[in-house]
Structure formats: C-alpha cells, structure tokens
Amino acid sequence: MIGRCLQALIASDLPRALWELIVVDDGSRDGSVSIAAGHADVVVRLPGPPHGPAYARNRGAEASLGPVIVFVDADVCVHADALRRIAWAFARRPELGAMFGSYDADSPQLGDISQYRNLRHHYAFRREAGAAETFWAALGAVRREAFLHAGQFDEWRFSRPQIEDVELGYRLRRLGYPIGLDPTVQGTHLKRWTLRGVVRRDLFDRSIPWIRLRLAHGSSGRPGQLLFRPSEWTDTALMGLAFLLLVLAALARLPALAALAGVVAGAVVISSVRLFWFFGRRRGLVFALRMVPVHLLYHLLSSLAAAWAWVLYQLLGAPTASATVRAQSEAGPRRWPPHPRRTEASFWMEGGAGRREG
C-alpha cells in the first residue's frame, strides 16, 4: 500500500518544489523503507517494535520544515488536488489551526464491510462540512505553530492506533484554534476490513476510549467524529435497548420481547433511510439492503462501548499510561528514538489547557 500512497502524493498538482515528503517507518518488516527511499525527501526509521501512530507522527513532524504539516496514512491515496486545496485553505484563513478531509466514495471493491465503512464515512463527513470540534489524521493538516502549542500527539497515552487524533483536536479547540472539515479534500482508502477487525477497532480502540474522554472532561461543543448528531445517539441507544430485549427474551422465553426488539431495530433502520438511499445511489439497491445488518451492528457496538466505557470510568477513571512509560517519561533519558513523551497540554490532564489569546 505504501507504494500506491506515495505515488498518489507525487502525482499531486501542487508543485513539488513547494512541499517536502517525509515517510516515517515505524518498525516495518517488509520492503517499505526501500519503496519510500525512491520517493521521499526524508525517511525516518524507528527501530524496534512499532511505537504507534502518535509517536511516529510526532517524529515525522519534528523532521519537517514547513509551516503546515500534512498527515496521510499509508493506506490512503490522496486525490491530485488534495494538497493544493489544503495549502489554499491555510493561505486563505491565517487563523486556521487545523483541517481535515474525507475518504472518497469510489474506493475499490474490498468487500461489504470495507465499502460500508468508507461510504458511511464519506456520507457523514460530507454533511458535517465546515467548523469541526476535533481532528482526523488519516488525511489531515495542522499549522506547525498550533501543533507545537498543543503539545503534539499524546504519544504517552496512545501507544497504538486509537483516538490520538480526536484527542489532539479537542486540545486545539480548547486553545482556541479553529479546525475545518473540507470534504472536497479526498483520498481513496485501501484498507480491507474484516468483521473481527471492525469489532476490535470500533469497540476497543475508538468508541470506548472516546467515550471515556468525554466522560472525563465533557464535550467542548458538537459531538466528535464517532457519533455525529443527536439522531446517532438515539439510534445507538435504541440498538442497546433492542439487544437488551433480545437477551431478556432468550432468558425468559418470551417471543413478544423478541418481536419488540425487532420493532426497535426497525426504527433504527427507518431513521437511517437517507444513508441507505445514499448507499443505493452509489452501489445499487441490493448493496443497500445488505448494509442493513452491518449498520445495525455498528450501532450495537457503539451502545456496548458506551456501557462498557461508563463502567470503566466509574471503576478506573480516565485512562493513564503504563507504569513503564510513566517512569521513562518522567526520568527523561536522552536517547534515539526518544521515550514516549508526556505532554502537559494533554486533554486527559486535570484542568486541561488554557485558551489561546488573540
């Protein structure tokens, strides 16, 4: 995938002399370094096991020279005009702290689950265009000044792909930096999702940490990038109710409760009719119908995550880094690559960050 990602960047219509290409190799075991060396201006190699995207992006940002830092995941192929649109947005709005784009709706046929995720993402980001309350780093950009002021990604607490970008966005907003969502800045997502991967990603790496963050510090405005609107919260609650009714129906052997659960799930489908209409226009009626159980699973996972996150927060409070990482960070030994750094601007810290003046 890295080869296709880099080829797409090189094909950008923003003149190559105006930007630099930095690739961070976070413990890969394939030929990624050799491929990157043929395209990149700088390749940063991180020895040892993977350190996670927060850590890797921070090291790449430290190696960069420009006033705006663009992050692109290795499984994303940007459109030819993406970098130009980003550069134009920051030039037009000097106050803009960060911005991000969206997956396109024309991803390769990678299976129903992958298609559902990419199309739902495209649909949701398109209707949320404009001011945003958080950040998305698969195809996002941040002004260097704002990135350093916010303390960079929280590599201390996020040692694997989770909500490190969402959390950074909250800190940027608390500091007063505007964030924009421009769905015309697009990239093709190449990742092939499996059902197991979706459950793990949505349940343990996105929804639960994100909800624990909101429980710990509340919301700084609109909901974040997992559940966009009040209707999404309602659908999630309804699917949780439907699941509970099914469990009670099985335990009590009451078919009426199972039928009621079906009615509740049907209400979720009806409330999402515009999304299914979008699916139908893009992939056809049969595909839209196949997406109904996938969509219900998405909301079921969100409801389970909300319940589990609430329990974890009541028992453990806000997430913390491991004892080893805390000790290394506080001791501060000088080495390369550096130990994960603790940022005092972290949204998880008590008191949060102050607002930016001006």
Report pLDDT digits (tens) over 330-341: 666 566 677 777
* Total Cβ atoms within 10 A of residue 343: 22
Predicted pLDDT at 110: 75
Predicted pLDDT at 198: 81
- Count the alpha carbons within 13 Å of 336 in the hemisphere toward its beta carbon: 5
| pLDDT at residue 358 greater than cutoff 50 | no
Summarize the confidence of residues 107-135 as an average pLDDT: 87
| pLDDT at residue 218 greater than cutoff 60 | no
Q: Residue 52, exposed/middle/buried by CB under 10 A (0-12, 13-18, 19+)?
A: buried
Give the SS3 label for residue 65: coil
Answer with the residue of higher pLDDT: 256 or 204: 256
Question: Vertex 28, ends 22 and 32: CA angle to 5°?
Answer: 55
The one-character DSSP state at 18 is: G
| pLDDT at residue 11 greater than cutoff 90 | yes
Closest CA to 322 of 342, 351, 345: 342
Quick check: 301 and 232 in contact, CB under 8 A?
no
Report the chain's mean pLDDT, rounded to a whole number.
Answer: 84
Pairing relationship of beta strands 42-46 and 22-26 according to DSSP bridges: parallel
Summarize the confidence of residues 88-97 as an average pLDDT: 96
Structure token pair of residue 30: 């394939």
| pLDDT at residue 349 greater than cutoff 50 | no
| pLDDT at residue 322 greater than cutoff 70 | no
Quick check: 44 and 22 in contact, CB under 8 A?
yes
Answer with the residue of higher pLDDT: 113 or 107: 113
pLDDT band per the 50, 70, 90 thresholds, residue 201? confident
Structure token pair of residue 297: 């699973």
Answer with the residue of higher pLDDT: 140 or 217: 140
- Give the highest mean pLDDT range of 17-26, 123-132, 186-195, 223-232: 17-26
Structure token pair of residue 132: 């945003």
Describe the chain by its helix, strand, coil percentages, rounded to 5.
55, 10, 35
